[in-house]
Each structure stands twice: as C-alpha cells, then as structure tokens.
Amino acid sequence: MSFAATVRDELRRAAAARFRRLGRDDDAARLSAEAGTVEADPARSADDARRRWNVRHAARDAPAAPAAFVVDRASHLPTSGRALDLAGGTGRHAVWLARRGLDTILVDVSDEACRRARHAAAAAGVALEVHRADLSVDGPPDGPWDVVLSSDFLDRAVWAEAAGRLAPGGVLLVCQPTVTNLERHDRPSRRWLLEDGELGRLAASWPDLEVLEISEGWRSRGRHEAWLVARRHACQVSASGTV
C-alpha cells in the first residue's frame, strides 16, 4: 500500500472513531468500511471485550514484570509530568511509570485488570489513577501527555488520537507484535497484529512527531514485535513568541 493510501486510511479511521463517539454510527461504519476496517456493533463489541478480558485476567497469576522494551527506554522518559498507559492491563508498566515520578493514568476495558492494577499500585505504594473504559469507543483521555505507552494493544485510531494529545516534547512508546509472529505462535490472533512495516508508516502519518526509533524483529522473549519511540516536536520559541 502506498504511503498516501496509508495516510488516507488513517485519517478515515480517526474520523470514524470520532463519529462513533458522537453517536453517528452510520458515518463511522461508512468511513471504517472505506478504510478497510470491519466494524463490529460498538456496544456489543465493548461488552464482549470487557467479558473476554475479565476472564483472561482472572485466570492469570502474579503480575508480570514490565517489558524490557519499556524499561530499556527509561532514558527517553521524563521523571515528572503526566503519563497515559493505554490498555494497561494489570498495571505492570503504569506502576513502573508512577514509581519514576509520573502522574500516571491507566485505562483498560477489563474490570478485573483495573482491580488488579489498583491493588498493584497500592502494594507498590504509588498513586495510580485507573479508568475502566473501552478505548475504541471512548477514545483516549484528554492530554496533554508527557508519556503515552501502548504495549500489546492495537487500535490504530486510538494511537493516532493519543499521539495528537502528546505535550510538546512528549514521548510515545508502542510495542506490538506483527503478522510475522504467526510463523511461530498462534497467539495473539490476527486482529492484534500489525502488518510488517506498518508501525513505521503509521508513525510517519501522525503529524508533529519525530521518530526516534523504529524497529521490527524477533525479540528476546521469542515474539516478532514492532517497536516505536517517537517524540512530539517541542514548540520553538522565537523573539516574537511561541511558534
């Protein structure tokens, strides 16, 4: 797919997400179809997602450690300001960000994940705001954000919106498996996988972002993942004011 077509589809998906939130489901469905996205009934899929993820989280044991991708990028991250963990699950990254000194909000569709994230934050002795919400329906919370993290959650429209809500100088971290992962693993299923090369194309289509790092490959934990680190351009201050 050409770069221009990717950008067009991205704009359509972002517009579809906005229409969905405004209750204009017909417009949302039309734009999603034009962008090649198959749309489920939003209310039904929100409930399904909530139930499905509740079951999965309830079946999990101890919370996992934060991913090396995130921890190893600490030098890119501020130690104060506001951080948003998209679909943050049981809080492994949100707690880590909060420990670094960031005022952190975790959003997740699963009540069980949110309950566990609150518990993890309390056990770690850090403040963490936890919102139960379906990001695909409600969109990301208003910024500005100094850090936005998405690890193992794929919603292109939500990413685009969250990237647009970064503060000047704010950092976006994305870690997501790609279709190549299917060569060795059945899961995550196709719905959660990026096309090869897609994350770089998406990042290039989001305005005002400087890509600091983009890579894809088999990672040490055995998965094929795309990694992105990008920073929103800082405002330039001229003699006549802020540009």
- Least separation, in Å, of the C-beta of 107 and ligand SAM? 6
Question: What Rg value do the Cα atoms of the chain yield, rounded?
Answer: 18
Nearer to ligand SAM, 117 or 166 (CB): 117
Q: Which residues pair with 108 in a beta bridge?
A: 132
Asked if residue 181 lies in contact with residue 188, where contact means CB atoms within 8 angstroms, the answer is yes
Q: Is 228 in the site for ligand SAM (CB under 6 A)?
A: no
Q: Which two tokens stand for residue 232?
A: 């929103």
Report the site for ligand SAM in 30-69 (rule: CB under 6 A).
Answer: 49, 53
CA-closest candidate to residue 70, choices 140, 150, 170: 150
- Least separation, in Å, of the C-beta of 148 and ligand SAM? 12
Q: Which two tokens stand for residue 150?
A: 């998405």
Nearer to ligand SAM, 129 or 152 (CB): 152
Close Cβ partners of 64 (under 8 Å, ≥ 6 residues apart): 90, 92
Residue of 81, 88, 140, 170 that binds ligand SAM (CB under 6 A)? 88
Close Cβ partners of 182 (under 8 Å, ≥ 6 residues apart): 190, 193
Q: Is 121 in the site for ligand SAM (CB under 6 A)?
A: no
Count of helix runs (H) and strand runs (E) in the chain: 9, 9
Q: Is 106 in the site for ligand SAM (CB under 6 A)?
A: no
Stretch that binds ligand SAM, among 3-11, 88-96, 196-204, 215-223 (CB under 6 A): 88-96
State the Cα–Cα distance between residues 3 and 204, nearest whole angstrom: 9
Over the window 143 to 182, marking each residue x when it contacts ligand SAM by CB under 6 A and - when it does not, the resulting string is --------xxx-----------------------------
Residue of 95, 105, 135, 202 that binds ligand SAM (CB under 6 A)? 135
- Residues lying near ligand SAM in the complex (CB under 6 A): 49, 53, 87-89, 92, 107-110, 113, 134-136, 151-153
